[in-house]
Amino acid sequence: MAYDDVPGGDPRGRWCPKCKLPIRSGEPTTNMHFHEDPDGVRGLSGPWHGECARPYWDTITPALEKMRRAFGG
């Protein structure tokens, strides 16, 4: 498949930083934001696969963890 000559950037779209696979339209995604990479220049912040982002929710969102404790999770 000749995608190389498609103008306007990477035709494959955004790549998931976790599994290094392209995020296809229609796939569930989670918008991640890392303090270490506020602008997404390091490729961390931005859309991830929903399942790939799940293990990181607690790490980057302490509030979420507190909430879960409060609800006995």
CB distance 37 to 43 below 8 Å: yes
Question: Which of residues 16 and 32 has its CB atom nearest to Zn ion in the complex?
Answer: 16
In one-letter notation, the amino acid at residue 27 is E
33-72 residues near Zn ion, rule: CB under 5 A: 49, 52
CB distance 7 to 14 below 8 Å: no
Q: How far apart are the first and last CA of the chain?
A: 47
Question: Which of residues 33 and 66 has its CB atom nearest to Zn ion in the complex?
Answer: 33
Q: Which of 16, 29, 32, 46 binds Zn ion (CB under 5 A)?
A: 16
Residues at the interface with Zn ion (CB under 5 A) = 16, 18-19, 49, 52
